[in-house]
Amino acid sequence: VTGCTGTESASGPGTDGRIAFLDYGDFGGGSNPQANYNPYLDATRLGATEYVFEQLIAYDSYGCQAKPWLATQWTWTDPQTLVWKLRDGVTWNDGKPFSAEDVTFTYDMLKQHKALDTKGIWRYLSAVEATDPKTVTMRFTQPGAAAFTLFGEIKIVPKHVWSTVGDPVTFTNAEKPVGTGPFTVKAFNPQQLTLGRNADYWQADKVKVDELRFHKADGGGQIDQLKLSRGEYDSNAMFVPDIKKAYVDRDPEHNKYWFPSGGSISVYLNLTKAPFNDTAFRKALVPAFNRQEIVDKAQLGYVKPASQTGLVVPGQAEWLPKDLPNQGVVGYDPARADADLTAAGYPKNGAGKRVGKDGKPIAFSFRVPGSWTDWVQAQRIIVANLNALGFTVRAETPTPEAYENDRAIGNYDALLGVHGGSCNMFRNFQEPLASDQSAPIGKKAVSNFVRWNDPRTDQLIATLRTATDEVAQKAAVADLTTVMTEQVPVIPLWYGAKWFQYRTAKATGWPNEQNPYAAPSDNLLIITHLQPAGNTK
């Protein structure tokens, strides 16, 4: 491209079975990114930190499996004590050795600076100690199993650098960030971020890419879509309309995509209001929505209808009760919904309007944020489905801010919300359903926006938090999915997608449906899996 000057041809390597460079998409940091490699400043750091810093374990967030990374081994000596064995031969990219000191320093820093503890790890921890240079012991205030997945997300930083920093919260780490990761920052300007391979990386042999080039893009507009479709990105993560025609068909041999499911997008009914506080009512509504049409029309067929269990199927199918038909995905059956509603005491009146227990027609509003066009599209289908059942539903499209605010304080009738989708089953259920995440109407709820308040649910969630063994966890999850299907606190409709496009012209080994060894966001796992394409075209 004419405008691109500089490193285009400058990088020499790429021979001996390696890939000279790969073009990636956006690297974060807003529209006018500033050098910021502080791995804890989630909101403003640049994408490079993912490749410069590493964690104790690498989580495959698709299969929900922890892989040894900076730690080779971990053991729960008791439900409140976790002992980590650190990897040998790891060095910081400035040559200094990596040790347990760095790990304890990192965790202690998060304790001191709450602003950096974006995972809330110190909600569970009581102390982190280096028992020897290669061993770290963590003590929890209570059984800590629920926090385990979080360790995969805490980047470890070098003590010898960060201990000299005045205030790590405002530290941008802009000059040659020191980490243990496979790449170092090579060049940066607000348009492009270039990472170079760290030759001394502890598993350098697995990293076949010499250079990663991230290109600034703003939220995947038309231009970026065009560039993607023309093969200018080796990998990107953005929404592309009609991806088959627009992307795959342009180069079917190399252009690929994989959109694994994320969280569930569900109908949130305000459970403090009638008739939504009636379980029979909610349960009758489960088959009332044409999930397939939403998926096809509003979501361009990129996603799948969601299971009523709150879990992501088929990825998390093994957590489901065995006897559940169709993995809890309920089909569209307006006749049944109609019959169930009538049976539950909500018949249609003479005018064909469905009436409540008070005999008045049921009218309510249904909100989605106005600028989220696919949701607005889905809203149209949902409202049509509901109106077909005799409800009078107003579609409202407030601004995202107003939507968020009203959702938090419970000032709504019905809306669409997102929950779940992570590997942390505790979080998946605690956030939307635990009563401690709720608040009275008018006060901001943390995440239980429907205001589900059920002692049994709370108890199951508590079990999930403390159970370190898998059997107990599975039992609790299965019970929670039953709560979902039987008591219907929310009605999942479809799964959000994780956008992921890749090209196999230069590199192969990307995760995909056939080989889902990692989720698209598991950068370290992917970069260590990439191989040069057989024939460099």
Partner 1 sequence: MAGRRAPARRPTRPPEGMAPVAYFARRFLFFIGTLWAAVTLNFLIPRLQPGDPAEAIVSRLAGQSESIDPAQLQAIRIMLGAPDGNLFEQYVQYLGAIVQGDFGVSYTYFPYSVTHMIGQALPWTVILVGVTQIISFIVGTLLGTWAAYRRNSRVDSVITLGSTFLGTLPFFWLALLLIYVFAITLRWFPERGGYGGGSSPGWSWIFISDAFQHSVLPAVALLITGPIGWIIGMRNNMVQSLGEDHARLAVARGLPRRRIALTYGARIAILPNVTGFAIALGSVLGGTVLVETVFNYPGMGRLLLESVSSRDYPLMQAIFLFTTVGVLVANFLADLLYGFLDPRVRKADTA
Partner 2 sequence: MSTPAPAVPVPGTDTEALQASATELSRRSRLPGWFVILWRNRKCRAGLLLLGAFVLVALFAPLIAPYDPRGDAFPTSLGPTGGHWLGTTAQGEDVFSQLIVGARTSLIVGLAAGLLSTLIGLVIGLTAGYLQGWVDEVLSFLINLGLVVPALPLMVTLAAYAPVRGLWLIIAVISVTGWAYGARIKRSQIITLRTRDYITAARFAGDGTARIIAREIVPNMTSLIVVGFMGAALGAIGGEAGLAFLGLGDPQTVSWGTMLNQASLGGALLTGQWAWLIAPGLALSLLITSFTLINFGIDALSNPHLRED
- Residue pair 145/465 in contact (Cβ under 8 Å)? The answer is yes
215 binds, among Ni ion, partner 2, partner 1, none (CB under 5 to 8 A by kind): partner 1
Q: What angle do CA 445, 446, 447 make, to 5 degrees?
A: 95
Q: Can you tell me which residue has the tokens 């100690």?
A: 129
Q: Which runs of E-coded beta strand occur in 291-370?
A: 363-367
Residue 319 CB, nearest approach to partner 2 (Å): 34
Q: Computed over its alpha carbons, how large is the radius of gyration of the chain?
A: 25
**246 or 475, CB closer to partner 2?**
246
**20 or 376, CB closer to partner 2?**
376
Residue 296 to residue 293: CA distance in whole angstroms = 5
- Residue pair 172/35 in contact (Cβ under 8 Å)? The answer is yes
Structure tokens at 183: 């790449």
Residue 13 CB, nearest approach to partner 2 (Å): 34
199 binds, among partner 1, partner 2, Ni ion, none (CB under 5 to 8 A by kind): none
300 binds, among Ni ion, partner 1, partner 2, none (CB under 5 to 8 A by kind): partner 2
Residue 456 to residue 479: CA distance in whole angstroms = 10
Structure tokens at 84: 């980590």
User: Within positions 324 to 383, which residues make up the interface with partner 1, using CB under 8 A?
Assistant: 369, 372, 375
Binding mask 4-43 for Ni ion (x = CB under 5 A): x---------------------------------------
Closest Cα to residue 417, out of 263, 307, 286? 263
Please report whether residue 170 would count as binding partner 1 according to CB under 8 A. Answer: yes
Give 166's contacts (C-beta < 8 A, 6+ positions apart).
Answer: none
Please report whether residue 226 would count as binding Ni ion according to CB under 5 A. Answer: no
Residue 42 CB, nearest approach to partner 2 (Å): 23
Binding mask 209-248 for partner 1 (x = CB under 8 A): ----x-xxxx--xxx--xx--x------------------
Residue 528 CB, nearest approach to partner 1 (Å): 25
**354 or 419, CB closer to partner 1?**
419
# residues near Ni ion by CB under 5 A: 3
Task: Work out the number of other CB atoms within 10 angstroms of the CB of residue 345.
Answer: 14
- C-alpha dihedral sign at 436, 417, 400, 246: positive
Residue 108 CB, nearest approach to Ni ion (Å): 44
164 binds, among partner 1, Ni ion, partner 2, none (CB under 5 to 8 A by kind): none
Task: Work out the number of other CB atoms within 10 angstroms of the CB of residue 249.
Answer: 12
Residue 202 CB, nearest approach to partner 2 (Å): 42
Which of 78, 114, 440, 470: binder of partner 1 (CB under 8 A)? 114
Residue 368 CB, nearest approach to partner 2 (Å): 9
Q: In sequence order, what DSSP letters do the residues of 221-277 get, joined into one string?
A: -HHHHHHHHTT--SEE----TTHHHHTGGGSTTTEEE---EEEEEEEEE-TTSTTTT
Q: Give the interface segment with partner 1, choosing from 56-64, 269-277, 412-420, 480-488 (CB under 8 A).
A: 412-420
CA 535 to chain centre: 34
**254 or 380, CB closer to partner 2?**
380
User: Within positions 25 to 84, which residues make up the interface with partner 1, using CB under 8 A?
Assistant: 29-32, 34, 36, 41-44
Binding mask 485-524 for partner 1 (x = CB under 8 A): -----------xx---------------------------
Please report whether residue 436 would count as binding partner 1 according to CB under 8 A. Answer: no
181-220 in b/e burial notation, b at 16+ Cβ within 10 A? Answer: bbbbbbebeeebbbbbbbeebbeeeebbbbbbbbbbbeeb
Give 233's contacts (C-beta < 8 A, 6+ positions apart).
Answer: 23, 24, 25, 215, 227, 501, 503
Residue 381 CB, nearest approach to partner 2 (Å): 9
# residues near partner 1 by CB under 8 A: 71
Closest Cα to residue 202, out of 180, 176, 178? 180
Which of 171, 258, 391, 500: binder of partner 1 (CB under 8 A)? 171
List of residues contacting Ni ion (CB under 5 A): 1, 3-4
